[in-house]
Amino acid sequence: MPLKKAFTTTIDNVSILDEHGSFDAKLGAPGGKPIIPDDDLVKLYEHMCLCRKYDEVAFKLQRSGRMGTYPENRGQEATSLGAAYALNGDDWLVPCYRENAGLFWRGLPLEFVLLHWMGDERGNAIPEGMCITPLAIPIGTQMLHATGLAWASKYRNEKRLACTFFGDGATSEGDFHEAANFAANLDIPVIFFCQNNGWAISVPTKIQCSAPTIAQRGIAYGMDSIQCDGNDIFAVVYCMKEAAKRARENNRPTFIEAVTYRLGDHTTADDARRYRDAKEVEKWNNRDPMIRLRNYLVQRKLWDDAKQEAAVARAKEAVTAAVKRAEEIASPKTADIFNSMYAELPDDLVIQRETMMTHSLGQHPEELPPTSTQQRTHQQA
């Protein structure tokens, strides 16, 4: 029998605005209608200014002993920001820990991320209705959560989806493979957004994955997969809109590999100079998503030095206010442990909360003193 191909495929790479200023109007403005209107483009750049200032201040907070650790987002702003921009407000954002730009665009107050890295669990108490999950520190676990959230939305016929973010290193975790297999086989509307920044802490992508692209790992599970320039916000929005359409119309997952770079250390506990070549960092400095977008705006006469100065001043004011809110937050009360755990607190835990004692828990419920809830019910009766 002659040999025949069992399967062939290609993976497209999307680049619309490159670091040299070249703009692909066919993809970026089909039919003359830009995928990002000018007004929105200016707002997105202003938001990047805010996030860059936030990184600068957060780094200083850690170095001055006012925060435990911090992972800089510098250089990766276009990825999560472009994703959040392209999604609906009721779609789930399921982050790792380098998605500040997207989370803040969605509306998460700036101090929440500061509180998280200061070790205050209230930073993880995401305001109801924002459709954001807390930062995920264990590598890869959030992909399972995103798949479950998207499956629930599909079950309810809500036409909502979930987008989960992770790095290239996370695709070597078992959680990724389980989530991808589940999502593809059960037609679940989830977007797997891989921010391939070249390094899994100190392990380079070429060691992490022997394939030419990380996107091939999505293909292995039967997903549509695509690669884009992660420092090009137009390319990110383009890929996200296509993936969101596929999820809403066909309940199909998509794997997006956004090729980007973290310009800072992995976290403030890391020293990337020990394993990264300075020439590599300089090359990626020239591909900075903020510089690229600003140059484009200037070319279009949508931005100038005066606007830059004003944007930086507003960013500084906003971040300063967020730091003040985080550092001056009232100390938590012990009762918060109970109140934040349950919507309706069981009677035995009401006793624990009000007495801060557990010695009565072994008694028969009928022998326990009435709780404040029971007393109010009796009085009303």
Tens digit of pLDDT for each residue in 116-164?
A: 999 999 999 999 999 999 999 999 999 999 999 999 999 999 999 999 9
Q: Kindly report, residue by residue over 171-202, the tens digit of the pLDDT.
A: 999 999 999 999 999 999 999 999 999 999 99
Residue 369 neighbours by CB under 8 Å, 6+ apart: 351, 360
Tell me, what CATH number does 215's domain have?
Answer: 3.40.50.970
CA distance 327 to 333: 16
pLDDT confidence of residue 366: 54
Same-domain pairing of 200 and 346: no
Burial 293-312 (b: 16+ CB within 10 A, else e): bbebbeeeeebeeebbeebe
Q: Is residue 7 part of a domain?
A: no
Q: Could you say which of 63, 273, 275, 342 is catalytic?
A: 275
Q: Is residue 8 part of a domain?
A: no
Same-domain pairing of 207 and 133: yes
275 is catalytic: yes
Q: Is residue 365 part of a domain?
A: yes
| Final residue of a structural domain among 327, 352, 371 | 327
**Gyration radius (Cα) of the chain, Å:** 24
Residue 92, SS3 per DSSP: strand
Q: φ and ψ at 84, to 5 degrees?
A: -65, -40
Same-domain pairing of 267 and 134: yes
pLDDT confidence of residue 340: 84
Q: For residues 117 and 67, is the Cβ–Cβ distance under 8 A?
A: yes
pLDDT confidence of residue 1: 76
Whose tokens are 């100390």? That residue is 331
What residues are paired with 165 via a beta bridge?
193
Other beta carbons within 10 angstroms of residue 379's beta carbon come to 7
262 is catalytic: yes
Q: Is residue 6 part of a domain?
A: no
Same-domain pairing of 295 and 344: no
Q: φ and ψ at 258, to 5 degrees?
A: -100, 110
Six token digits for residue 334: 């012990």
Same-domain pairing of 107 and 242: yes
Same-domain pairing of 254 and 368: no
pLDDT confidence of residue 320: 98
pLDDT confidence of residue 363: 56
| Final residue of a structural domain among 286, 309, 327 | 327
Domain count, the chain: 2
pLDDT confidence of residue 354: 87
Same-domain pairing of 291 and 353: no
Same-domain pairing of 341 and 261: no
Could you tell me which of 124, 82, 122 has the C-alpha nearest to residue 105? Answer: 82
| Final residue of a structural domain among 308, 327, 346 | 327
Distance of CA 350 to the CA centre of its chain: 36
Six token digits for residue 146: 């995103």
Could you tell me which of 91, 97, 90 has the C-alpha nearest to residue 70? Answer: 97
Q: Could you say which of 74, 160, 217, 262 is catalytic?
A: 262
Distance of CA 246 to the CA centre of its chain: 21
Q: Is residue 4 part of a domain?
A: no
pLDDT confidence of residue 11: 97
Q: Is residue 248 part of a domain?
A: yes
* Domain assignment of residue 252, given as a range: 13-327
pLDDT confidence of residue 83: 98
What is the secondary structure of 336-354 as a DSSP string?
HHHHTT-SS--HHHHHHHH
pLDDT confidence of residue 343: 86
What is the secondary structure of 30-56 as a DSSP string?
GGG--SS-HHHHHHHHHHHHHHHHHHH
Same-domain pairing of 135 and 235: yes
Task: Using 70 as the pLDDT threshold, list the residues of the chain that sit under it.
Answer: 359-381
Q: Is residue 245 part of a domain?
A: yes
Same-domain pairing of 340 and 319: no
Sheet holding 254-259, edge to edge: 13-14, 224-229, 254-259, 190-196, 162-167, 92-94
pLDDT confidence of residue 84: 98
Q: Is residue 124 part of a domain?
A: yes
Same-domain pairing of 227 and 199: yes
Q: Could you say which of 106, 266, 292, 353 is catalytic?
A: 266
Six token digits for residue 7: 């399967």
Same-domain pairing of 250 and 116: yes
